[in-house]
Structure 1
Amino acid sequence: MKIDPSFIWTAFTQLLPSIPTTLAITAVSVSCGFIIGLIAALLRIYKIPVLGQIASGYVTFIRGTPMLTHLLLIYFGLPMLLDAVSVRFGWGFKSTSIPMIGFAFISFSITAGAYMSEVIRSGLLAVSRGQLEAAYSIGMTTPQALRRIIFPQALGASLPNLSNSVIGMLHGSTLAFAVSVVEINAKAQIVASTNWKFFEAYLAAAVIFWGLTLLIERLTAVIEKRINLYNRGGVA
């Protein structure tokens, strides 16, 4: 087998239009996953009756099953549920109107939420309990103490692991092709299928993913520096 260097560049240029799809999947899943993870972490830390147990079960189940399984469960199960509810209440809604990328958004957000829950929980627990008690002593409420004292420090402690989660979701976005969403890796397969130069196409995809990963790492380093400066009482 002979490698065609020129086709690597050709494939690279043809893969570039797929980057926004990959970034959209990553951004939506990470943003929604962070909110889900934060809620689940707080429910577990404060041991809210019933809800805390539900959050623990959710985290255990999602972390104990493959990401692709979540996607397929959502892809095949959600339409049945929505159609049944629509018929029951006479809404006239059909699950076929849901874009394919919507299933990826929902599934990957649920997956990211479980993993981020553990990252956020560990960050919150890393902050000394005495700081929360000190906040109470000066008249702060729990939401105020969490927002102004606990969360900034917990974010600084959790940032490296949160960065890993973002990178993991970026790479996990390649699974979206299972529901016909054309992201970078799927586009590489399509491009290569025209002349069977799969090595060159996937090498181009690898370079793009590597570049995006380096960008995330760089942004994380900048954010971490500013958060640490803030936590030390400096001027950001």
Structure 2
Amino acid sequence: MKLDPSFIWTAFVKLLSAVPTTLFITFVSVLGGLILGTAIALCRIYRVPVLGPISTGYVAFIRGTPMITHLFLVYFGLPAVVDGLSASLGWSFRSVSIPYIAFALVAFTITASAYMSEVVRSGLLAVNRGQLEAAHSIGMTTPQALRRIVFPQAFAAALPNLSNSFIGMLHGSTLAFTVSVVEINAKAQIVASTNWKFFEAYLAAAVIFWGLTVLIERLAGALEKRINVYNRGGVA
């Protein structure tokens, strides 16, 4: 095999058009997973009746099954549910109108929610429970205490794990190509199929993913440093 350096650059330039799709999938999945995961973590920590055991079982099942399985379950199961509801309620909407990327977003959000719930739970448990009791003693409600005292400290404690989860979801977004979503990996395959230079195309894709990963690490590191300055009582 003879390496073609010029095609690596050509592929790199062409792959840049798929970066927004990859980042969109990652951001939406992580944000949705963080919101859902926070609710799951709270249900487990405060042992909410019915919801607590369901949340525990949900996390165990999602973490115990592969991400691509979630994607296929959503891809083949969601249309049946949507079409069934549409038929029973007399709606004209059908699953064929759902864009492929929506299946990836739903599946990846489900996956992220289970992992994010553990990240959030670890962050919340790292905050001294006495602070919540102190907030109650001065008249704060539990939601107020969580929002103003517990969550900021929990976020600081969970930030390293959050950034790792974000990077993991960035890399996991490559599975979206299995449902015909053109992200970076799928674009690399399309670019390489014109002349069978797959090694060069995937090498260019690897460079892009590496660059995005380094960027996320730097941003997370800067944010963590900023938070730690305030935790020490200093001034930025």
Q: Which residue of 2 aligns with 1:179?
A: 179
**How far apart in 2 are the matches of 1:132 and 1:187?**
49
Q: Which residue of 2 aligns with 1:67?
A: 67
Q: Which residue of 1 aligns with 2:119?
A: 119
Give the residue type in structure 1 aligned to 2:169: M
CA displacement at 1:224 relative to structure 2: 1.0
CA displacement at 1:231 relative to structure 2: 2.7
Aligned positions of 1:100-139 closer than 5 A: 100-139=100-139
Q: Which residue of 1 aligns with 2:92?
A: 92
Cα 1:148/1:230, change in 2 over 3 Å: farther
**How far apart in 2 are the matches of 1:224 and 1:94?**
45
Check whether the contact 1:11–1:191 (CA below 8 A) recurs between aligned residues: yes
Give the residue type in structure 1 aligned to 2:100: M
TM-score, normalisation: structure 1? 0.98
Question: What stretches of structure 2 of length at least 5 have no aligned partner?
Answer: none
CA displacement at 1:210 relative to structure 2: 0.4
**How far apart in 2 are the matches of 1:110 and 1:234?**
39
**How far apart in 2 are the matches of 1:37 and 1:64?**
16
Q: Which residue of 2 aligns with 1:161?
A: 161
Q: Deviations over 1:112-147 (max 9, x none)?
A: 000000010011001111111111122211111111
Q: Deviations over 1:101-120 (max 9, x none)?
A: 00011000010000000010
Identity, % of aligned positions:
75
Q: How many residues in Structure 1 have an aligned counterpart in Structure 2?
A: 236
**How far apart in 2 are the matches of 1:146 and 1:230?**
19
Check whether the contact 1:152–1:227 (CA below 8 A) recurs between aligned residues: no
**How far apart in 1 are the matches of 2:199 and 2:61?**
36
Give the residue type in structure 2 aligned to 1:192: A
TM-score, normalisation: structure 2? 0.98
Moved over 6 A (4+): none
Q: Deviations over 1:47-97 (max 9, x none)?
A: 000011111111111000000000000000000001001000101110000
**How far apart in 2 are the matches of 1:231 and 1:127?**
13
**How far apart in 1 are the matches of 2:187 and 2:100?**
16
CA displacement at 1:235 relative to structure 2: 4.2
- Is 1:54 the counterpart of 2:51? The answer is no
**How far apart in 2 are the matches of 1:48 and 1:175?**
34
